[in-house]
Amino acid sequence: MGVRERLAELGLTLPVVVPPVGAYVPAVRTGNLVFTSGQLPMVEGSLPAVGRVGALVTPEQAKDLARTCALNGLAAIEALVGLEAVVRVVKVVGFVASAPGFIGQPAVVNGASELLGELFGETGRHARSAVGVMSLPLDAPVEVELVVEVTPAEVELVG
């Protein structure tokens, strides 16, 4: 079953690509890799929650937000090369705006990692870093960036 069927099965729709909040683009391809920009958990143009995890935002809320970040990252990849081109999710970095003393970043970033597993299966198994930071753009509680490997451009031209 392809990633598009899995999205449907999970009741998910890829969102519109979130416009960058600065002088950059949502994702760039180089060779067989696509690097996405750090994705905020925007939903239809605004953040469902703001503030630091462990203070204004609970870990459970933040896990949902991390899932949204990942979905936004996939939307950026879809727009650039199409999700079918993804042969491996390589790397996820999850930045969690953390109140002093909050050390539950792994469970938060699991919101992104688990979505990738649900959608891609083995292909979705990635290396990951999770860190707790002071603050994030627009006061977002979470920011997630993705690196994925995609099929060679030659294959796409033939396919």
In the complex, which residues of this chain contact its own copies (CB under 8 A)? 20-28, 30-33, 35-38, 88-93, 95, 97-98, 100-107, 109-110, 113-114, 117, 125-139, 143, 145, 147, 149
Beta carbons of 92 and 64 less than 8 angstroms apart:
no
Type of residue at 67: R
* Distance from C-alpha of 68 to C-alpha of 41, rounded to nearest angstrom: 5
Beta carbons of 77 and 123 less than 8 angstroms apart:
no
Type of residue at 96: V
Beta carbons of 98 and 53 less than 8 angstroms apart:
yes
Largest CA distance in the chain: 53
Q: Which of 94, 95, 75 is nearest to 34 (CA)?
A: 75
CB of 112 to its own copies, least distance (A): 9
Which pair of structure tokens corresponds to residue 32? 């067989």
CB of 52 to its own copies, least distance (A): 9
CB of 4 to its own copies, least distance (A): 22
By beta-carbon proximity to its own copies, the closer residue of 12 and 35 is 35
CB of 109 to its own copies, least distance (A): 6
By beta-carbon proximity to its own copies, the closer residue of 4 and 88 is 88
